[in-house]
Structure 1
Amino acid sequence: MENPIPKIMKTPIIAMYHDDEHKNLTVEVELPDVENENITLMMHENSFYLKAFSNNVEYLGSFFMDGPVDPEKAIAKNNKGMLTIKVPYKEGFLCARNIPIE
């Protein structure tokens, strides 16, 4: 009987950014070798939870977003291990303030 290889638990690498009109948020999540059926994504208006696994790695994390979004309108696509989530802000990016860099 073979010994199963233990899974390594990791927090995935993510990038979040908004569009030029400050109306939509894009979240990119690196999930190498993870198939669609092995991804669980749950989104709230201010955060999301992700659990995904490949043969040897389990990715897990909860992440806050920079403003309230409309999770009912979220779209998620996995393209060769890059999960891209696009979701509109509820009220745009109104509360943000530009801070000059000295």
Structure 2
Amino acid sequence: MAEDQLIQTPCVYACADEKGDNLNIEIDLPGVKKDNIEFKITEDSFAVRANNTDIKYVGSFAVCCPVMPDKAVAKYSNDKLIVTVPFKELHETPVEVKVQ
């Protein structure tokens, strides 16, 4: 990394898809080439590192519900990294809690 390179957290938007089956993640990485992106995901978090000539983007983020990282699909187009990953199915029976 060049010493004059600015370190910045990228803009991230994450939400469930319309059916609630997948987590969609969009990360803005202006001016970054696909080969300069490192994206890692676990069941409960993801991290991104990327750089262009002037800026190094670095960030790690928690995921609200567990996902299946081995099924994640990532595409990079128009300065935007788009990742889709299915939520992990929870096989627990919900417990009703009485409100007092």
The alignment's TM-score, normalised by the length of structure 1, stands at: 0.83
Q: Following superposition, which runs of at least 4 residues in structure 1 exceed 4 angstroms of deviation?
A: none
Q: CA deviation at 1:5?
A: 6.7
Q: 2:62 aligns with which of 47, 61, 64?
A: 64
What does residue range 1-102 of structure 1 map to in structure 2 within 5 Å? 6-91=4-89
CA contact (8 A) 1:16 1:28 kept: yes
Query: TM-score scaled by structure 2?
Result: 0.85
Instruction: List runs of 5+ in structure 2 lacking aligned partners.
Output: 93-100
Structure 1 residues not aligned, in runs of 5+ = 95-102
Identical pairs, percent: 34
RMSD: 1.6
Distance in 1 between the 2:34 and 2:44 partners? Answer: 24
- Counterpart-to-counterpart distance in 2, 1:20 and 1:50: 25
CA distance in 2, matches of 1:69, 1:5: 36
> Deviations along 1:33-58, whole A, 9 cap, x unmatched?
11111001111000011100001000
Separation in 1 of the partners of 2:78 and 2:53?
15
> What is the distance in 1 between the residues matched to 2:78 and 2:5?
20
